[in-house]
Amino acid sequence: MGARIDKFSFGEMTSNSTGKTSSSGTMGCLVIAVGCIGFLLGIGNYIWGDGDGQIMMYSTGFVGAGSVLLGVRKVRNTQKHVQDQSQEKG
């Protein structure tokens, strides 16, 4: 399954190299979406609310955690691919 650069697909973004849906990829997308929404609400709270920017700091950490979940999926698939190639040679 080759990636198409001219077309964006959530299905491809949340799937692993074998085409199966990856739970870490799906949850990474969900966590990033929730973190972005929290950040935007924090901006509104900072401007029109009490001026406390704590929620923006925590939302940034939440987006970072989601990015780590997406990255773990790629690293895990790469390690499995390298391991499979070494078994084929050896």
Domain membership of residue 72 (yes or no) is yes
- Which residue did the predictor score with more confidence, 83 or 54? 54
Residue 15 bridge partners (DSSP): 21
Report the sign of the C-alpha dihedral through residues 5, 69, 87, 19, in that order.
negative
Domain membership of residue 46 (yes or no) is yes
Domain membership of residue 89 (yes or no) is no
pTM of the model: 0.70
Domain membership of residue 50 (yes or no) is yes
- The structural domain count of the chain equals 1
Domain membership of residue 32 (yes or no) is yes
Domain membership of residue 4 (yes or no) is no
Domain membership of residue 58 (yes or no) is yes
Per residue in 8-65, pLDDT tens? 676 777 777 677 777 888 888 899 999 999 999 999 988 998 878 888 888 999 899 9
pLDDT higher than threshold 60 for residue 87: yes
Domain membership of residue 90 (yes or no) is no
Domain that holds residue 29: 12-84
8 Å CB contact between 77 and 17: yes
Q: Which of 73, 90, 68 is nearest to 13 (CA)?
A: 73
User: In whole angstroms, what is the distance from residue 28 CA to residue 30 CA?
Assistant: 5
